[in-house]
Chains A and B, each alone.
Chain A
Amino acid sequence: MTNTENFVHELAEKHGRTRNALMPILQGVVARDKYLSEEAMIAVARELDLSAADVYGTATFYTFLDTVPRGKNVIRVCKTISCHMHNKDEIIKALEEQLKCKVGETTSDKKFTLLTANCLGWCHKGPVMLVNDDVYPELTPQKAIEIVQEYIRKSN
């Protein structure tokens, strides 16, 4: 078995092999690999005895279950109204300049993917962004850059 198949097998052992286990398993793969590769989705289908199309169909419904490769760190800047009113555009601009990539893109060193997201639930402390699962409210362009630099430092 390949590394991915092994990992999917472990997740199936942990969560079970019913259809109800599909989301936790897909979430487990994304937590490790940041996205669902074709290989991973086929491995999940085999473990749960589902068609690969069913797995793909479920995965593509959800924003957080990416099916294209993502960087080691996924940044999601909230773009919904309250954050919009509090200058999320400046945060995005600062991050684009810092990372040298546009929204929707991954940096050439594969360390960051920059995305926008709908309401993250911090409307009283916007603008806000998620880096992986961690949340950073009350951003300024400077603060956003410093947070990203901290992630770069930690990974070096």
Chain B
Amino acid sequence: MEQKHLKRVDLIFEWDEKNPPIQVLDKTLQKTPDAIILEMIDSGLKGRGGAGFPTGLKWKFTRNEDSDVKYVICNADEGEPGTFKDREILDRVPEKIFTGMAICGYVIGAKEGYIYLRAEYNFLLKSLQQKLDKFNQQLKDRQIEFSIFLRSGSGAYVCGEESALFESMEGKRGEPRNKPPYPTVAGYNSKPTVINNVETLVYTCEICRMGAEKFKALGTSDSRGSKVFSVSGDTTKPGIYELELGMPLKDFIDEFGDDDAKAVQVGGASGHCVPRKKFNDTIIGFEGIPTGGSMMIFNSSRSMYNVLHDYLEFFTEESCGQCTPCRVGCQQLLKGIEAVKKGERPPAYLEDLKKLTLTMKIAAKCGLGQSVANPFISIVDNFKEEIIY
């Protein structure tokens, strides 16, 4: 097996003076859509929002749909606790996002693109709109029939779920839809839609700039390329860092920890908690624990009961309430750990609560309810004493 180590990479924020995004666009549009799709598939790029669906396939499926109207949507509803990379990308290199969207529009045959920006980032709206106006004009000058528009969210975590995001853009409650149909078939306005994360779109632009080979040279066979990580919690270096995928968590902790790390929450509130004893064996990537980028470090001064309690409060508030397993499940989990802590329920009750999370994993309608099992089981199993006493 390839053994990777922590390595810093500079693709996302790098500005290639000789080859700025608009020139990447010009160069790329000389290729056929099929050639671009092949390059994306060859690069091995998987979605950077957390779910990790192969980007090239998403583009291909949408291209293959027969429809006059199609859409490209940039999911900028970054709300996972511990994640803030998209905000920095939107602030510093939005032109790369726009370019990725325009390339995607050309590939799938879409004339409209939308950026759905979370309301918490409204302070970015003005400068984004200015840069977008300039970019749209550049497209017009080149007679490229594609325009990008901005839409705002209004403070709902669940709208980061793609079908809930479409519902919100359609003026409805942000309640996730049943799948299938998938967005590639019926997304925004029930038309074929590519919806990609902010960071994913930037990588598509970078792959078009430097070629799939160079991108592929980074990472492992399961996790090609690099990824932007948001580092927070008990760390000496909070911030965002682009790192090669496939490193052991141990390397990460050696670099960013405060020498007292007892656990890392990989992938935000809906991700997995890894205790110190497993740092060596945990690979950060799709072959190990994938992450949308959130890396929260906890040192020995932190109570993991408080951490789990915070997460469950978050899910209870952010559950859209549409499906019973998630709406009731989140509430019961929160009440449940409080009852165990107070001694009103025996420690064995935690096993019942774990079963409840597994039911939610099967029965909840979307990723929100389905993924509560990740933090719950990993924190309860690894820090049982802290939860009980």
Contact = CB atoms under 8 A, between A and B. Distances in A.
Interface of B: 78-84, 86-87, 118-123, 125, 151-157, 168-175, 189, 230-234, 238-240, 269, 294, 296, 302, 306-307, 310-311, 314, 317-318, 320
B230 A118 contact: no
Given A23-B169, A82-B233, A124 B307 contact: no
A119 to B, nearest CB: 4
A62 to B, nearest CB: 4
B154 A65 contact: yes
Interface stretch (A103-111, A127-135, A147-155): A127-135
B314 to A, nearest CB: 6
A27 B117 CA distance: 13
13 contacts: A20-B169, A20-B170, A20-B189, A23-B152, A27-B154, A80-B314, A81-B233, A82-B81, A121-B87, A123-B81, A123-B83, A124-B230, A124-B239
A82 B120 CA distance: 16
A22 B82 contact: no
Contacts of B151: 23-24
A84 interface: yes
Interface string A52-78: 000001100111110000000000000
B122 A133 contact: yes
A37 B263 CA distance: 46
Contact of B314 (A118, A130, A133): A118
Nearest to B157: A118
Contacts of A135: 123
B307 to A, nearest CB: 6
A39 B171 CA distance: 19
B239 A134 contact: no
A61 B239 CA distance: 32
Given A27-B154, A62-B155, A119-B81, A85 B233 contact: yes
B23 to A, nearest CB: 31
A81 B269 contact: yes
Contacts of A126: 232
B156 A61 contact: yes
A14 interface: no
B134 to A, nearest CB: 22
Interface of A: 18-24, 26-27, 57-58, 61-65, 80-82, 84-85, 117-126, 130, 133-135
Contacts of A27: 119, 152, 154
Contact of A85 (B118, B123, B155, B234): B234
B359 to A, nearest CB: 25
Contacts of B84: 121-124
A23 B171 contact: yes
Given A81-B307, A124-B231, A118 B171 contact: no
Contacts of B189: 20
B123 A82 contact: no
Nearest to A122: B84
Given A20-B169, A133-B123, A123 B156 contact: no
A64 B157 CA distance: 12
A19 B318 contact: no
Contacts of A19: 170-172
A124 B232 contact: yes
Contacts of A119: 79-83, 157, 314
Contacts of B269: 80-81
A9 B48 CA distance: 41
A67 to B, nearest CB: 12
A64 B82 contact: no
Contact of B156 (A22, A62, A124): A62
B303 to A, nearest CB: 10
A118 B318 contact: yes
Nearest to A48: B171
A92 to B, nearest CB: 15
Given A58-B173, A80-B310, A82-B233, 12 more contacts: A19-B171, A19-B172, A26-B154, A27-B152, A61-B173, A61-B175, A63-B155, A85-B234, A119-B81, A121-B120, A122-B84, A123-B81
B233 A118 contact: no
